[in-house]
Amino acid sequence: MNAARRQVGCGFWLLWMLTNTVAVFVFVGVFVDVVGVVGVAVGMVLFGVSVGIAQWLVLRRQVSSAGLWVLASTVGGGVVGVVAVFVGVFGIVAVVGALVAGGAITGGAMLWLLRQSAP
């Protein structure tokens, strides 16, 4: 059965970005208090893996090669974590840079995946 896919508009993408940004800030804020700055890099990789797997459960029904989303989410989370290590040195610039870099990786991967045919 080939069900028609629902069109995704700007509202969905804005909500997707907002919820993921809030999740990262909450996670980093809690994780820094618990394990310190170096642990944030490792923690963000684990965060990327766990979020990637959870989101893959939804994406696998919509796009082929959805398993690559777990890799993209892990790499994006790792980049955010590594850049976040420098927050103490660069402050808000590092936070914004981390989110932009991680968002570019995962956003690019998502665009590529959504252009793939449904399984």
Is residue 22's pLDDT more than 60?
A: yes
Q: Is 97:83 a contact under the CB 8 Å cutoff? A: yes
Is residue 4's pLDDT more than 70?
A: no
Which pTM was predicted? 0.64
Check residues 24 and 54 and name the one with the higher pLDDT.
Answer: 54
Neighbour count for residue 112 (Cβ, 10 Å) = 14
Residues 6+ apart with CB under 8 A from 70: 49, 52, 53, 56
Please give the average per-residue pLDDT across 42-69, as a whole number. Answer: 82
- Give per-residue pLDDT as tens, 91-106: 677 777 777 888 888 8
User: Which residue type occupies 80?
Assistant: V
Which of 4-8, 15-19, 82-86 has the weakest average pLDDT? Answer: 4-8
Which helix (H) or strand (E) segment holds residue 108: the answer is helix 92-114
Sign of CA dihedral 42, 67, 51, 97: positive
Q: Please give the pLDDT value at position 1.
A: 41
Q: Is 119:63 a contact under the CB 8 Å cutoff? A: yes
Q: Is 44:84 a contact under the CB 8 Å cutoff? A: yes
What residues does each domain of the chain span?
11-114
Nearest residue to 43 via CA among 95, 81, 4, 5: 81
- Give per-residue pLDDT as tens, 34-52: 666 677 778 878 888 888 8
Q: Please give the pLDDT value at position 71.
A: 92
Provide the token pair at 56: 């893959």
- Kindly indicate the confidence band of residue 118, based on its pLDDT and cuts at 50, 70 and 90: low
Provide the token pair at 18: 């907002």
